[in-house]
Amino acid sequence: MRVLVTGAAGFIGAAVARRLCERGDSVLGIDSLDPYYQVSLKEDRLRELTAAAPDRFAFKQVDFSDWAALQSALEGEEFAAIIHLGAQAGVRYSLENPHAYVSANLMGHLNLLEIARARQTGHMVYASSSSVYGGNDKLPFAVEDRADHPVSLYAATKRADELMSETYAHLYRLPLTGLRFFTVYGPWGRPDMALWLFTDAILAGRPIKVFNHGEMWRDFTFIDDIVSGVVACLDKPPADDDSEKAGGSVKPHALYNIGNHRSEHLMKVIGLIEDACGKKAQLEMLPMQAGDVEKTYADIDAIQRDIGYQPTTTIEHGIPQFVQWYRAYHGV
């Protein structure tokens, strides 16, 4: 099977593309190589991916929020399914550059839905986010919980993607699966994420910024577990049978949390990074940052029941793997 993967130069996209190629599928990857963080890292991911699967992976640089450019790039290309992982990521950056989120996350998502509709694609799996739960106090977050009080524009765009997808599943009977990711980390991760920022600062002897004075909890999910869940979801599109799917839709549209089902205290995470680095962190304790939430915790009953997803990597094993990769990649 040939699969279109958006955000193929990104952290999750590159890992998913590699897994698909390893199991015998072929991948057409697209990415705009946006300079939100260093393009060199994205190019290195693509180089590694191309070297690992030269006959199964093809790449085109295109901004999928540009409808004309996307249509042109995909002209003559065939694929049976779509994994739409490309997006403007980051809660904090949405405070600085809101237009980027509307362009990439709203127009971009609509464009991929239109591609799927026009081609009657067999299944599209797309990235949502745990941020859609906003400041919900009920833990763990379940897909049946309300998600209509976002606390950041990033969260609002991801919830809007889910609502647009529900509409397309209703109007055009497109099989769609949305995945609410919970704090993904691991080798080849993103430089704007806490693990990268903390590791970088600790090794360089700089202080790390610890928001809410360290009273933060996150459901950290290792990249290999995420990839296994994404691919398993791809293989099981929601049926168009009027039955209620995870998330409440009776159309061929399912929503799943994809996390580790463990909410870890930030100070514990910092301690594990210190151990892996062999250095103590200098802590700069700060108040809660606008748009952030205190706790995330994934209820994964639905994806376990329907897909058989089962995360296996604890932070005690995953964090040292990230730090080892980081040091090798940067030669430190």
- Tell me the sheet residues that pair with 256: 179
Residue 45 lies in a domain: yes
Task: For 309-329, write each residue's pLDDT tens digit.
Answer: 999 999 999 999 999 999 999
C-beta separation of 179 from 78 below 8 A: no
Query: For 105-145, what is each residue's pLDDT tens digit?
Result: 999 999 999 999 999 999 999 999 999 998 788 889 999 99
List, by residue number, the catalytic residues: 154
> Shortest CA distance to 212 belongs to which of 126, 273, 286?
286
Confidence (pTM): 0.95
Beta strands in the chain (DSSP E): 2-6, 26-31, 57-61, 81-84, 124-129, 176-181, 184-185, 207-210, 217-218, 221-222, 253-258, 264-265, 282-285
Question: Looking at residue 126, which CATH number applies to its domain?
Answer: 3.40.50.720
103, part of any domain: yes
Determine the Cα–Cα distance for residues 202 and 279; give it in Å rounded to an integer. Answer: 7
The two three-digit tokens of residue 167, written as one number:
């509409």
Question: Would you list the DSSP string of 1-60?
Answer: -EEEEETTTSHHHHHHHHHHHHTT-EEEEEE---TTS-HHHHHHHHHHHHHH-TTTEEEE
Reported in sequence order, the residue ranges of 201-259 that DSSP labels E, i.e. its strands, are 207-210, 217-218, 221-222, 253-258
Percentage of residues of the chain with pLDDT beyond 90: 91
Dihedral, CA of residue 168, residue 116, residue 85 and residue 55, to nearest 10: 160
Q: Are 112 and 5 in contact (CB under 8 A)?
A: no
Residue 7 identity (one-letter amino acid): G
Q: Is residue 321 part of a domain?
A: no
Number of structural domains found in the chain: 1
Decide if pLDDT at 91 tops 80: no
Look up residue 244 and give its two tokens.
């209620």
Q: Tokens in use for 48?
A: 């590694």
Decide if 325 is inside a domain. no
- Mean pLDDT calculated for residue range 8-30: 98
Q: What percent of the chain has pLDDT over 70?
A: 100
Residue 37, in any domain of the structure: yes
**Which residue range(s) make up the domain with 146?**
2-186+221-261+297-311
**CA 209/CA 230 separation, integer angstroms:** 32
Residue 96, burial from CB neighbour count under 10 angstroms (0-12, 13-18, 19+): exposed
Q: Which residue has the higher pLDDT, 38 or 292?
A: 38
In a domain, 192, yes or no: no
147-152 mean pLDDT:
91
Cα(332)–Cα(329) distance, integer angstroms = 8
